[in-house]
């Protein structure tokens, strides 16, 4: 009887202390840890070794407060559907592990967390019935106090609350990525969530193309019109990010000595006063960066802010990379469809001019190009005929084969990518450079194991083409070479057939004539008809007979 009375006295005292500390004005920093320390002390006789209060956000358990002997020092732990902590919160029922009892903390019908009581090791005497009675009663009273604790955080508690906010944002980002199909829409939601969580002016997400050496802004919040902006990766700041693969923090863009002049001018033009760049890494490979931008005032980024942003960025990198892979699969599928359409169109005609028109139209759907050209080796074997595929039909320019720069592709049968041809002395490249074209990508046209020419795309931006473009060009070039060779063979066949028809008509006409003049006239008429000539004539010269004296 006296023991039960003592338990009730302890619960009453703890309840009064809980309400007094939780709703004190001003709030008392660290009161919840102090309260749990008293719980451990008062209930040590019932086997309690340590107590902690935890919340679950997504798939992470976060320790809000604790006291006594707690098995792990890490305040965050991953959980899954079989976790006793998650089961206790979802079912609003007591759960247990070999060395702990877990009690849900509820407000009405909603569980907002759980109190975990670590007891003596199994095999030792623990009064679980009394422990359950004590902690269940205490958990029922902790709901309003815990809400107040989360609502009015102090300096130390504020850091914990930011961590909880970050984990909640991280969970939302992960959930969005696994359920959405459009990566840009998902990234926009992620950027907005991070702005609201970290309370920063602006966030921009940039993905890197290491082959092109550029980064592209693919998402931002708020919308400042930066999406699609291409940023060079050869600036000092980006090189720092690439080499260190660690956050780069610039608290004052105007006077930070580590910032290069080009980067400083770029940020000042955008109106950025402070910036922190966090690397997006997937298997140690840098795929992009997340930028925290301050526009309205200089901002000194704290270690807590960088740590919180890095946690979100690491998850964002994985999901963004997965979304990129999905987009790449869709892009390649679309390319295959377009190349199939090209094959069907280009093999449906034997007219060279029509083939050139089709290949120009379809190539522009697959590759960005300011000019498309087809170079063919002339029948004389010494001349290169270059067809510039432009509006209104192709323009032909011919050069000695031995002087043409494209002979490299023709002789080796290998593709070629050049960042800038503007300084070349070769006549064909000078022709292109005259139209301010700089970047070139070219592939050989091979038919029947023989190189018949070269297919090329050109762009006014230097360094525009990379190996991915070559892969697409090769597929187009393969179809183009087949179509051109089929057209050539068709023309040969038509010419041979026409010759045979002409010979048959001449033979028939000659057989029906008995005098030489009629035979010559019919022959002349058939040849003129075959050659589409308006006038024709036959000129005969009599050989002078040599006198022979025997």
Q: At what angle do helices 303-346 and 467-511 cross, to 10 degrees?
A: 0
Compute the average pLDDT of residues 519-529.
Answer: 71
Q: What percent of the chain has pLDDT over 70?
A: 79
The answer to whether the peptide bond before residue 160 is cis (omega within 30 degrees of 0) is no
173-229 pLDDT, tens per residue?
A: 555 544 444 566 767 777 887 787 778 899 999 888 877 778 888 888 998 888 888
Q: What is the pLDDT of residue 438?
A: 93
Least confident of 332-336, 339-343, 481-485, 502-506: 502-506
Q: What is the pLDDT of residues 78-115, one digit of tens each?
A: 888 889 998 998 898 999 888 899 999 988 788 888 99
Helix/strand/coil for 280: strand
Query: Domains along the chain?
Result: 2-149 (3.30.450.40), 163-325 (3.30.450.40), 347-491 (3.30.450.40), 493-531 (no CATH)
500-510 average pLDDT score: 69
200, 306 in Cβ contact below 8 A? no
pLDDT given at position 152: 47
Whether the model pTM is above 0.75: no
Q: pLDDT at residue 237 above 80?
A: yes
Q: What is the pLDDT of residue 442?
A: 94
Please report the pLDDT score of residue 3 as a whole number.
54
Reading the block at residue 222, the tokens are 């708020």
Q: Which runs of consecutive H residues, i.e. helices, occur in 416-466?
A: 427-433
236-267 burial code (b ≥16 CB/10 A, e <16): ebbebbeeeeebbbbeebeeeeebeeebbebb
Q: Select the more confidently predicted residue: 87 or 325.
A: 87
Answer whether 102's CB lies under 8 Å from 96's CB. yes
Question: How would residue 504 be classed by pLDDT, with cut points 50, 70 and 90?
Answer: confident
pLDDT averaged over every residue in the chain? 80
Confidence of residue 549 (pLDDT cuts 50, 70, 90): very low
Q: Residues 10-22: pLDDT tens digits?
A: 666 777 777 676 6
Pick the residue with more confidence: 49 or 189? 49
Q: Residue 42: pLDDT above 50?
A: yes
pLDDT in tens, 382-420: 999 999 999 888 999 999 999 999 989 999 999 999 999
Residue 166 has a pLDDT of 57
In this prediction, residues 283-311 reach a mean pLDDT of 87
Average pLDDT of span 246-275: 90
Backbone φ/ψ region at 463: left (φ over 0), alpha (ψ -120 to 50), beta: left
pLDDT score at 165: 59
Which tops the pLDDT comparison, 326 or 437? 437
Two tokens at 474? 């090769």
The helix, strand and coil proportions of the chain, stated in percent and rounded to the nearest 5, come to: 50, 25, 30
- For 295-323, what is the mean pLDDT? 81
């Amino acid at each position: 009887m006296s023991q039960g009375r003592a338990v009730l006295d302890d619960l009453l005292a703890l309840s009064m202390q809980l309400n007094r500390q939780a709703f004190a004005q001003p709030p008392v920093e660290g009161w919840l840890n102090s309260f749990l320390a008293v719980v451990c002390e008062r209930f040590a006789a019932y086997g309690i070794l340590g107590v902690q209060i935890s919340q679950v956000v997504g798939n992470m358990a976060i320790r809000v407060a604790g006291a006594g002997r707690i098995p792990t020092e890490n305040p965050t732990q991953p959980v899954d559907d079989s976790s006793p902590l998650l089961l206790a919160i979802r079912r609003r029922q007591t759960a247990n592990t070999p060395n702990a009892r877990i009690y849900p903390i509820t407000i009405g019908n909603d569980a907002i967390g759980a109190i975990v009581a670590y007891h003596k090791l199994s095999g030792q005497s623990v009064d679980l019935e009394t422990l359950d009675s004590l902690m269940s009663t205490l958990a029922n009273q902790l709901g309003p106090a815990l809400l107040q604790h989360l609502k009015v955080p102090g300096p130390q508690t504020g850091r914990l609350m930011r961590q909880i906010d970050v984990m909640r944002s991280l969970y939302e980002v992960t959930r969005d990525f696994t359920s959405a199909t459009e990566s840009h829409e998902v990234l926009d939601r992620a950027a907005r969530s991070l702005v609201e969580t970290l309370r920063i002016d602006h966030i921009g997400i940039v993905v890197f193309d290491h082959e092109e050496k550029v980064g592209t802004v693919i998402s931002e919040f708020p919308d400042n019109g930066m999406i699609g902006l291409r940023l060079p990766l050869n600036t000092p700041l980006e090189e720092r990010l690439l080499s260190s693969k660690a956050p780069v923090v610039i608290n004052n863009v105007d006077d930070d000595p580590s910032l290069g002049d080009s980067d400083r001018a770029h940020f000042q033009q955008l109106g950025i006063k402070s910036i922190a760049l966090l690397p997006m890494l997937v298997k140690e490979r840098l795929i992009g960066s997340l930028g925290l931008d301050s526009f309205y005032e200089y901002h000194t980024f704290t270690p807590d802010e960088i740590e919180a942003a890095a946690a979100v960025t690491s998850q964002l990198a994985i999901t963004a990379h997965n979304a990129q892979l999905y987009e790449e699969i869709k892009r390649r599928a679309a390319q295959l469809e377009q190349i199939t359409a090209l094959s069907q169109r280009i093999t449906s005609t034997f007219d060279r001019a029509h083939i050139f028109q089709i290949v120009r139209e379809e190539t522009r759907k697959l590759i960005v190009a300011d000019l498309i050209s087809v170079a063919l080796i002339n029948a004389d074997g010494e001349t290169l005929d270059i067809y510039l595929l432009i509006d209104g039909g192709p323009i032909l320019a011919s050069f000695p084969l031995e002087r043409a720069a494209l002979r490299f592709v023709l002789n080796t049968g290998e593709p070629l990518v050049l960042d800038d041809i503007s300084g070349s002395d070769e006549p064909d490249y000078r022709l292109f450079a005259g139209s301010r074209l700089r970047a070139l990508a070219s592939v050989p046209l091979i038919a029947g194991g023989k190189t018949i020419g070269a297919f090329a795309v050109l762009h006014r931006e230097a360094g525009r083409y990379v190996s991915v473009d070559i892969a697409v060009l090769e597929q187009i070039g393969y179809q183009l070479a087949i179509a051109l060779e089929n057209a050539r063979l068709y023309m040969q066949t038509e010419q041979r057939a026409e010759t045979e028809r002409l010979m048959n008509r001449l033979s028939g006409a000659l057989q029906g004539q008995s005098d030489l003049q009629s035979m010559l006239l019919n022959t002349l008429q058939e040849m003129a008809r075959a050659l589409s000539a308006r006038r024709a004539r036959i000129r005969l010269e009599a050989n002078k007979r040599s006198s022979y004296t025997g």
